[in-house]
Amino acid sequence: MGKKRIVAKTKEELFEERERIEKRLGKEVKIIPSKVKEGNVYISSTYNNTIITLADHDGNVLSWTSSGRLGFKGTKKGTPFAASKVAEGISQTVKKMGIEKIYIFVNGIGSGRDSALRSLAARGLNIVSVKDVTPIPHNGCRPPKVKRI
């Protein structure tokens, strides 16, 4: 086995990557003129991806974004950094739509759930409640009978 090379990105490459992510953040926003003043934010965090959905109280999806949609690929989609970028995109959408109060529902066990929640809180949104809706088995199904020979 040879030496492992670590490729360090130059400042120009880092700026290009940042501009690409910010450009995709701004692209997704579709302003829907509505009278929605409260919304639900669903954070679905898995080991491989983080998906954040903005919906009204009836469950109609107003906007959504994921770390894959922002241009992250492979294992980088499940990182806390990618989740915080996704949360920034949704918070921009919430502000543009004029939603005043949001209720957050967190689902999943990925590493991005905490950073997405912190990022939403840091953007100055009025968070009314945070609820964890991750399904937890409470003993599961009845096991099969023992095989008799």
Give me the residue spans of the domains in the chain: 36-132
Would the pLDDT of 4 be above 60?
A: yes
36-132 under CATH 3.30.420.80, yes or no: yes
Provide the pLDDT for residue 20.
Answer: 76
Instruction: Spell out the residues 6+ positions from residue 105 whose beta carbon is closer than 8 angstroms to its own.
Output: 40, 41, 42, 43, 131, 132, 133
pLDDT digits (tens, 9 = 90+) for 34-51: 577 899 999 999 999 999
What is the mean predicted confidence (pLDDT) over 61-83? 92
Report whether 64 contacts 75 (CB < 8 A). Answer: no
Provide the pLDDT for residue 115.
Answer: 94
What is the mean predicted confidence (pLDDT) over 69-76? 91
Q: Counting Cβ atoms within 10 Å, is residue 50 exposed (0-12), middle (13-18) or buried (19+)?
A: buried
CA–CA separation, 72 and 21 (whole Å): 9
Say whether 65 sits in a helix, a strand or coil.
Answer: strand
CA–CA separation, 100 and 113 (whole Å): 22
Would the pLDDT of 86 be above 60?
A: yes
Q: What are phi and psi of 127, to 5 degrees?
A: -90, 120
